[in-house]
Amino acid sequence: MNYYDDIKETLVKNEIYKKVKDYSKNKSDLKAYFEVGRLIVEAQGGEKRAKYGNKLIKEYSFKLTKELGKGYSRRNLALMRKFYMNFSKVQTVSAKLSWSHICELLSLDNIIKINYYIYITDKQNLSVRELRERIKSKEYERIGIKGKLEEPKVSTLIKNPIMIKVKDKNERLTEYALHKSILENMDDFLKELGVGFAYIGNEVKIKIGDRYNYIDFLLFNYKFNCFVVVELKVTEFKAEYIGQITKYINYVDKNIKELFNDKTVGVVICKKENRFIMEYCSDDRIFTTTYKVV
């Protein structure tokens, strides 16, 4: 079998297809590069040997560059090989992903992690730069998904810690200052929380009995069809925070939530966790996380 001729034919067809159907060039690229990766692996004698075989890639790169032009460097061919080897076990690759997205994902070696970033890129339409920043911030590790990646729930989207942008990260923050920083960077905060969060209001005034209370942030998650109460604390998590946010959740459920909405959930964002307290919290509507200023 002449692997080089097959690789060349695949790449030529891809270039022709992209010129005719520009709207689906991402899908064409990925399909072609995956096939090239497969052919390279076979030409090198299988995946175990292909991991270390670069002599053939050097030869193919020289010939392809000479015959087809730029874009087929040794690095690119090696990435195509890695694309096939790493993504043959991936559930599905979104049509929104470009080859540049894939190259960012090829820095990862965990299939579950790759599937997560494919999912988040597809749902939030991340640019290559945004995807790179998510990977760099170790978003997957902060969410703490274990085992097989399943359809996320609100709880699986809450990262730990939450990254919050502030003007001076060395300054000791009050709750007011932290609140203000989030308002100034609301778009970043919503993206940091996860998929589907939308801003409703801050310092939302509610009346319980004859007293007024104020919810730090009221959000809505359109993916999970539920309101989300967010409370900020610049201290370690305390037991009384459970009672406070439970009261706010119940108020929203009774006075704001519609019948077709799912149950309201609450998130307490603290400076420091106290897992011993949360062990005795049986309310599955309440989640906690910590924050880190950047």
Phi/psi for 70 (5° steps) reads: -70, 160
Tally of domains in the chain: 2
Domain containing residue 108: 3-146
CATH of the domain at 245: 3.40.1350.10
Burial class (CB in 10 A: 0-12, 13-18, 19+), 158: buried
Q: 130 and 184: one domain?
A: no
Do residues 140 and 13 share a domain? yes
| pLDDT tens, per residue, the chain with 294 residues | 688 889 899 998 888 877 766 556 678 889 999 999 999 998 887 766 656 567 889 999 999 999 988 888 999 999 999 999 888 777 677 778 899 999 999 999 888 888 889 888 988 889 999 999 999 988 888 876 554 455 555 656 678 899 999 988 777 889 999 999 999 999 999 988 887 899 999 999 999 889 999 999 999 998 889 999 999 999 999 999 999 999 999 999 999 999 999 999 999 999 998 888 887 787 889 989 999 998
Shared domain check, 137 and 182 = no
Q: Are residues 142 and 160 in the same domain?
A: no
The answer to whether 192 and 162 have CB atoms below 8 angstroms apart is yes
What is the reported pTM? 0.65
Residue 171: CA count within 13 A, CB half-sphere: 10
